[in-house]
């Protein structure tokens, strides 16, 4: 069977085509992602109406490209599928309405997918193919993106239990805000992690290492009994520290060094909190698999720490994180989650979705 999927919840116009069978094995035939990062960068974040304008400009060329690359046409599709939420409503509406039109015109079922569900299923894509039986349940998901930071337990496909989440900023959002206050462009995550890496080399110098040790950022909510997170206090601590430095002569002489050090210290605080809460959740819920996902899963320090810690403390647990191409927003992950909904969900509900499906900026995962 063939499934066509679209993702327009934020700043990527993405389309994918996948082939799958009833056993849950699939192949990715086309994966188109048109990014708007350059358009939003000067504004320091995503401007919703600008995103919608770009999506409406890009959606048809991107759809056309996916079909021409595979020599397929919409009438060959057995299912249509789209991110219906959460996300920016003007952006979501473009994808949802485009795919509703295709589903109505070709009289094929339409599946609405939750964006975070998509991120979770990005783990199943390996070398452009995969198998939905790949990971043993229960699965503990650590989802870290620009809009979400959640620990989600899955006892089976489509069964999502949010056991912990951020009480304020998402991890990606904190990376972006810290980058902005240090004077870096949007998106901040890749720049902060690059800066942190450059700080490593500087620490070989004893005097500089002494300066680095002056930075002490908090680990908010790390020792609370629940599995929740908080990152806004950490961001504020970075802001105050940086403001204090700016008034000191020393920082004016070496602003580049301090930015690298702040990036490293901030990232270390984030890594420690994520590691600690994930371990606590593992102890309580005893998953057989741990999956990392979301745009921030591209961060090498976070990935390495979680991976190494699990290998050391829970070697029996299977660990996976998405291939780099599938960490950020894409439509392939939405297609894989759509296959799961089709195979394990209520198919009758999908038949009239060209009429019933609505974009929902606050969509809940279950």
Q: Which residues pair with 80 in a beta bridge?
A: 4, 110
Measure the CA–CA gap between 330 and 310, rounded to whole angstroms: 27
| Nearest approach, Cβ of residue 33 and ligand KG4 (Å) | 10
Phi-psi region of 300 (alpha: psi -120 to 50; beta: other; left: phi over 0): alpha
By CB under 6 A, tell whether 86 contacts ligand KG4.
no
Residue among 149 and 289 whose Cβ is closer to ligand KG4: 149
CB hemisphere CA count around 358 (13 angstroms) = 5
The DSSP secondary-structure symbol of 46 reads -
Residue among 32 and 103 whose Cβ is closer to ligand KG4: 32
Rg of the chain, C-alpha, whole Å: 21
Measure the CA–CA gap between 125 and 330, rounded to whole angstroms: 12
106-145 footprint of ligand KG4 as x/- string (CB under 6 A) = ---------------------------------------x
User: How far are the Cα atoms of 203, 214, 237 from residue 258, in angstroms, in the given order?
Assistant: 12, 11, 15
Q: Of 145, 275, 320, 340, which one interacts with Zn ion (CB under 5 A)?
A: 145
**Residue 43: cis peptide before it, omega within 30 degrees of 0:** no
* CB 146, CB 172: distance < 8 Å: yes
165-204 footprint of ligand KG4 as x/- string (CB under 6 A) = -------x--xx----------xxxx--x-----------
- Indicate the Cα dihedral angle 228, 232, 233, 237, nearest 10°: 140
Nearest Cα neighbor of 113 from 122, 102, 104 is 122
By CB under 6 A, tell whether 44 contacts ligand KG4.
no
Q: Of 20, 102, 329, 333, which one interacts with Zn ion (CB under 5 A)?
A: 329
Q: Which residues within the stretch 318-357 sit at the binding site for ligand KG4 (CB under 6 A)? A: 328-329
Q: Of 3, 4, 7, 10, which one interacts with ligand KG4 (CB under 6 A)?
A: 10
With contacts defined by CB under 5 A, name the span among 25-33, 142-150, 156-164, 185-193 that binds Zn ion: 142-150
| Nearest approach, Cβ of residue 262 and ligand KG4 (Å) | 15
By CB under 6 A, tell whether 7 contacts ligand KG4.
no
Measure the CA–CA gap between 266 and 278, rounded to whole angstroms: 19
Residue among 288 and 304 whose Cβ is closer to ligand KG4: 304
* CB 341, CB 113: distance < 8 Å: yes
Binding site for ligand KG4 (CB under 6 A): 10, 145-147, 172, 175-176, 187-190, 193, 294-296, 298-299, 328-329
Residues in contact with Zn ion by the rule CB under 5 A: 145, 329
């Amino acid at each position: 069977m063939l499934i066509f999927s679209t993702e327009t919840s934020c700043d990527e116009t993405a389309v994918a085509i996948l082939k799958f069978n009833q056993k849950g094995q699939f192949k990715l035939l086309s994966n188109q992602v048109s990014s708007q990062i350059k358009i939003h960068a000067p504004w320091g974040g995503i401007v919703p109406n600008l995103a919608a304008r770009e999506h409406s400009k890009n959606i048809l060329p991107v759809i056309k490209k996916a079909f021409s690359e595979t020599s397929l046409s919409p009438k060959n599709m057995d299912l249509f599928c789209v991110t219906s939420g959460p996300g920016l409503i003007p952006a979501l509406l473009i994808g949802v309405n485009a795919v509703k039109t295709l589903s109505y015109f070709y009289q094929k079922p339409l599946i609405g997918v939750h964006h975070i569900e998509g991120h979770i299923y990005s783990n199943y894509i390996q070398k452009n193919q995969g198998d939905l039986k790949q990971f043993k349940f229960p699965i503990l998901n650590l989802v870290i993106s620009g809009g979400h930071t959640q620990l989600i337990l899955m006892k089976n496909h489509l069964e999502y239990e949010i056991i912990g989440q951020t009480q304020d900023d998402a991890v990606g959002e904190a990376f972006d805000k810290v980058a902005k206050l240090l004077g870096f462009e949007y998106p901040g995550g890749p720049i902060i992690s690059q800066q942190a890496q450059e700080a490593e080399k500087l620490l070989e110098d004893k005097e500089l290492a002494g300066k680095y040790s002056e930075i002490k950022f908090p680990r908010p909510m790390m020792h609370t009994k629940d599995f929740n997170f908080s990152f806004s206090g950490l961001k504020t601590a970075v802001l105050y520290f940086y403001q204090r430095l700016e008034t000191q002569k020393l920082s004016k002489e070496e602003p580049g060094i301090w930015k690298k050090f702040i990036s490293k210290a901030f990232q270390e605080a984030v890594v420690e909190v994520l590691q600690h809460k994930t371990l606590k959740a593992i102890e309580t819920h005893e998953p057989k698999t741990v999956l990392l996902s979301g745009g921030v899963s591209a961060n090498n320090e976070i990935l390495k720490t979680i991976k190494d810690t699990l290998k050391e403390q829970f070697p029996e647990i299977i660990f996976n994180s998405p291939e780099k191409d599938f960490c950020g927003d894409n439509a392939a992950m939405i297609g894989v989650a759509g296959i799961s909904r089709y195979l394990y969900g209520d198919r009758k509900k999908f038949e009239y979705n060209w009429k019933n499906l609505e974009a929902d900026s606050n969509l809940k995962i279950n």
